[in-house]
Structure 1
């Protein structure tokens, strides 16, 4: 089984979706995340073990490489597709096993901002590390974040912005959420923001890359 876990983690790390997938070239005609996940389930391995011992291992490696500029957005997207192929097999098992995921992460790009690439990368990485992700999309108002937080008690909220012009909205949304419930943990990210801005607006964490968000969640979610 350990060998299959290692193979699956490798498929996630390098974006091998399934056997017909041409990427990466050195794995041509080899089983991908799709086939190996099904094989592990057929062997009686639990969905949680597959997630913890293979999928998360692979995604953590991708996250660290992305932080260190050793891989770039296209490679991360391929890893995310491989992850999706594996999760398609696992999600029905998680649906029948409440509490099997680490926690819930609500994410959205703030009001006035329609950019979603950074948000999507964070969402993929967080889901790949075992969390349920509630993606509210772009141009999200404070009320929608608050409504989602009420629906998912204990969730962490992630706010994304790419435009300097929407930083004020990020500040207003953070203050509105905290005013509603000061115990909700909020992390922020995006090109124009930094740790000083995070401290200024009263958010709980600033992360320049998706792996930082995962590490914050791992420390924050009980």
Structure 2
């Protein structure tokens, strides 16, 4: 039964504030009060993420704020997503995304933010982690069958491995089966076109918009 404390509003505000502990507590409180997990997601976490996105695009929030919001989302979703998937009405995924930081690169902050934002936006995300070889990415794609493969590269030394992934998919006759997008400090839209990626996202919010366009069949504006 719902009390005077509103966990959904608390979850929304926690994401806006980038407060992981508050986000976790809000979701736990909501589940303890037997609130609808989908409502906690839609009216709480996603609503908060939308405010963060608006503030970021307006220049009121910066990368650090986006990182904190992403961490808050990740903390909350770790306990909320299993509840969503257990609902008899079903957690209706908008699509599946395979995400990884490419070989030789061990940075995961940006990837984790993108992953959290995608999950909050309703996508199923398979995260392969960092320093992932091209062969493992292809193997996972064949197993998981995502619509989109998202690759991150923060270091200039790891950038060539983005091309290696795309070339391997091409060599194995799988390139047309997946949309491959890239992001990270080492790359830009020009490099995405050079290696024939399907798109480039400068930040987590752009990544969500890009995935929505690609899965929805819309063209990339890059």
- In structure 2, which of residues 41, 60, 68 is the aligned counterpart of residue 51 of structure 1? 41
Matched-pair contact (CA < 8 Å) for 1:175–1:202: no
Q: After the TM superposition, which residues 1-222 of structure 1 pair with which residues of structure 2 at under 5 Å, given as runs?
A: 5-18=8-21, 32-66=22-56, 70-97=60-87, 99-178=91-170, 179-221=173-215
Task: Using the TM superposition, name which of 54-63 and 185-194 deviates more.
Answer: 54-63
Matched-pair contact (CA < 8 Å) for 1:63–1:210: no
TM-score under structure 2 length normalisation: 0.79
Q: Deviations over 1:170-222 (max 9, x none)?
A: 11211222442412011101223222221121111111111000111222335
Matched-pair contact (CA < 8 Å) for 1:48–1:100: no
Match of 2:106, SS state, is coil
Q: Deviations over 1:12-48 (max 9, x none)?
A: 1102344xxxxxxxxxxxxx33343344345543222
- Equivalent-residue separation in structure 2 for 1:122 and 1:208 (angstroms): 11
- Equivalent-residue separation in structure 2 for 1:196 and 1:83 (angstroms): 31
Q: Deviations over 1:47-97 (max 9, x none)?
A: 222212221121233244445553345433432343244324422322324
Matched-pair contact (CA < 8 Å) for 1:60–1:211: no
Match of 1:148, SS state, is helix
Change (3 A) 1:177 1:82: same
Shift of 1:143: 1.3
- Equivalent-residue separation in structure 1 for 2:93 and 2:40 (angstroms): 12
Task: Using the TM superposition, name which of 63-72 and 83-92 deviates more.
Answer: 63-72
Matched-pair contact (CA < 8 Å) for 2:149–2:178: yes
Unmatched runs of 5 consecutive residues or more in structure 2: 217-222
Task: Using the TM superposition, name which of 64-73 and 81-90 deviates more.
Answer: 64-73
Matched-pair contact (CA < 8 Å) for 2:85–2:91: no
Give the number of aligned pairs.
Answer: 208
Unmatched runs of 5 consecutive residues or more in structure 1: 19-31
Q: Deviations over 1:80-129 (max 9, x none)?
A: 34324432442232232455333222111112323323222222322332
RMSD between aligned residues: 2.6
